[in-house]
């Protein structure tokens, strides 16, 4: 914790230190578990372009852990993570999307449609069309 905090203080453009601090707070590693603090650090890292932090922030927001649940905002962060070519986000959204609620999935489909990579129904059902759109987005 101390070293990551020092790193963040030394270099405000470092996106890895706030990501690691967020993960430590989310997991309770070296510090008392605090998902609100995890979300704060993930947001700092995400704002600096860290795609893994974008995904983790989306997870917290979708589930309302440490922050208010907001499926639209969660989908926005996961969408950004996919655009940032986060491999874990790509795998989750193409193989485990049903673990996410239907409202989140509709919001993600809406964003995919707005990005011009999806032309299917915005129904929260992730079939081949949605999967192909997610993969296409991740390649842009």
Instruction: Report the b/e string of 50-71 with b at 16+ CB within 10 A.
Output: bbbbbbbbbbbbbeeebbeebb
Q: Is residue 22 within 8 Å of residue 59, measured between CB atoms?
A: no
Q: Where are the domains of the chain?
A: 2-139
pLDDT digits (tens, 9 = 90+) for 61-110: 999 999 999 999 999 999 999 999 999 999 999 999 999 999 999 999 99
Question: Which of these CATH numbers, 1.20.120.350, 1.10.3720.10, 1.25.40.10, 3.40.50.150, describes 2-139?
Answer: 1.25.40.10
pLDDT digits (tens, 9 = 90+) for 21-53: 999 999 999 999 999 999 999 999 999 999 999
Tokens matching residue 40: 């704060």
Q: Is residue 34 within 8 Å of residue 66, measured between CB atoms?
A: yes
Query: Is residue 72 classed as helix, strand or coil in its secondary structure?
Result: helix
């Amino acid at each position: 914790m101390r070293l990551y905090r020092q790193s963040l203080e030394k270099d405000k453009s470092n996106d890895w230190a706030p990501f690691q601090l967020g993960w430590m707070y989310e997991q309770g590693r070296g510090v008392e578990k605090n998902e609100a603090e995890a979300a704060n650090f993930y947001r700092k890292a995400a704002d600096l372009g860290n795609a893994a932090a974008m995904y983790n922030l989306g997870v917290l927001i979708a589930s309302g852990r440490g922050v208010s649940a907001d499926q639209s905002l969660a989908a926005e962060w996961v969408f950004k993570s996919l655009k940032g070519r986060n491999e874990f986000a790509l795998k989750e959204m193409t193989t485990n999307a049903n673990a996410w609620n239907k409202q989140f999935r509709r919001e993600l489909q809406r964003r995919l449609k707005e990005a011009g990579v999806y032309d299917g129904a915005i129904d929260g059902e992730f079939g081949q069309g949605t999967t192909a759109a997610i993969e296409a987005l991740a390649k842009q």
